[in-house]
Structure formats: structure tokens, C-alpha cells
Amino acid sequence: MIMARVTPSDKPRTKPTKPSRPTRAERQAQTRSELIDAAARVFARRGFQAARVEEIAEEAGYSHGAVYSNFAGKEELFLAVFEQYMTQRIEEVARVTEIKGSFTERARAAADQWMQRFSKDRDTFLLHLEFMIHAARNPKLSKQLGQRMAALRLEIERRLADREAETKTALPLPAADLALILRALGIGLAVEALNQPGEVNTRLYGDFVALIANLLETSGPGRQVSPSGAS
């Protein structure tokens, strides 16, 4: 039997597939993402109180009705912006703590990274302080903000608890308490630096975190470090 040779032109041609149209849910997610990004820029420029929903919509290229179809209002939109910021912060901490080095060196790197971020972007820190004060007068809003603020503290707590379990060395305080203190200290030093430029040593936070981390690192398994450093 003689087999006929099939040339490329003889092969059946398949019709090019049309790119699938995004679903309604995908379009809404895209709109929401673009509104959040636009809101972050407007809030950074104007502050929370001065920012207008209409300006945010214009920045994103939508009508102001698009904002209200995705968010209840400016407060809910800010919470979405803040949640995105906290996700970025957790990713930053994860990256900086993956460097090679001792536990103390990695802890110090995370602390220094926060002060460097604050020094380069004071406006974002001021924006968050503004909204914290605004939310503090509204119990429901304050709770919503607090839940989002807790994300980074809970990440620090998790890392401390993991360290305690891996080394079998008890922490001087419960991981939750220690994480709260470390987080509050970082925020507090940033507040002190706001109106005293040059007076607050930006390496001070790293110095303290390294001190605590070193106490944990030099303690033997099964031993508990007291807050005073005595075991």
C-alpha cells in the first residue's frame, strides 16, 4: 500500500480560539483592584479627611457610582487600602527575615527595615495615624481597623512561637505579648521621630530587637529567659 504524504497544507486547519471574555466577577475584581490602587494614591496626596470619592473615581477612570457599587463609602475603601498595605508589610518582613544569618541578625534586619520604610515614607505613616484617630471615635470602625492592624503583629507572634518550638527555649513572655510590645515599640519610635527629626536614632529599634533576639538565641534548650535576662 502506498501512503500519500501529507503536507502541512493538507492538514486540517483549526480555527483560532477567541480569547475568553472576562466573567462579571472578574470584571468586578479588576474594577475593585483599580479603585483600591487609585484610592491609595489619592489618600497619600490628600489625607483621609480631604480625599473625595469623586477624585478617587476620576483617578481610577471610573464614575463615582463605581466606587459605591464596590464599597459602602470612603471608610470601607480606606480599610481595603490599609489591608493591602498590611499584606505588603507582611511580605516585606518575610523577605527580609529570609536573609542568611543568625536569628539575631534576621530579627535586626526586620526592625531596621521598618525604620527605613518610615524614614522614606512618612506620609503613609501620617495617613494611618489620621485614620486611627478618626476610627477611634467609631467603635465599629475601630474594631474593623484593629482587625487589620493585627495582621503584622500576628505574623510576628507566629514567628516567635515557631522559634520557641524549634529551639525548645521558653520565651520570657508569651509570644502574643512579646509581639505586641515589639510592634508597639516600632510604632512608638516612629511617632517620636515625627516631630523630632534627627533626635531619634533610627537604629535604636534594631538595637533593642537585636538585644531581645540575642537573649533568646543564647539561651539553651529548655531554659526560660526572664525579662531581666537572667535564666
CATH number at residue 37: 1.10.10.60
Residue 229: pLDDT above 90? no
Check whether residue 165 and residue 225 sit in a common domain.
yes
Q: Would residue 2 count as lying in a domain? A: no
Q: What is the pLDDT at residue 2?
A: 46
Residue 3: pLDDT above 50? no
Q: pLDDT digit string (tens) for 112-162?
A: 999 999 999 999 999 999 999 999 999 999 999 999 999 999 999 999 999
Q: What is the pLDDT at residue 59?
A: 96
Residue 222: pLDDT above 80? no
Domain count of the fold of the chain: 2
Reported as a pLDDT band with limits 50, 70 and 90, residue 33 is: very high
Check whether residue 131 and residue 200 sit in a common domain.
yes
The dihedral of CA 65, 71, 75, 79: what is its sign? Answer: negative
Q: Would residue 150 count as lying in a domain? A: yes
Q: pLDDT digit string (tens) for 37-63?
A: 999 999 999 999 999 999 999 999 999
Dist. CA 195–CA 24, nearest whole Å: 48
What is the gyration radius of the CA atoms in the chain, in angstroms? 25
Domain interval for residue 28: 24-71
Give me the helix-helix angle, 53-60 and 74-96, nearest 10°: 60
Q: Would residue 38 count as lying in a domain? A: yes
CA 156 to chain CA centroid, nearest Å: 12
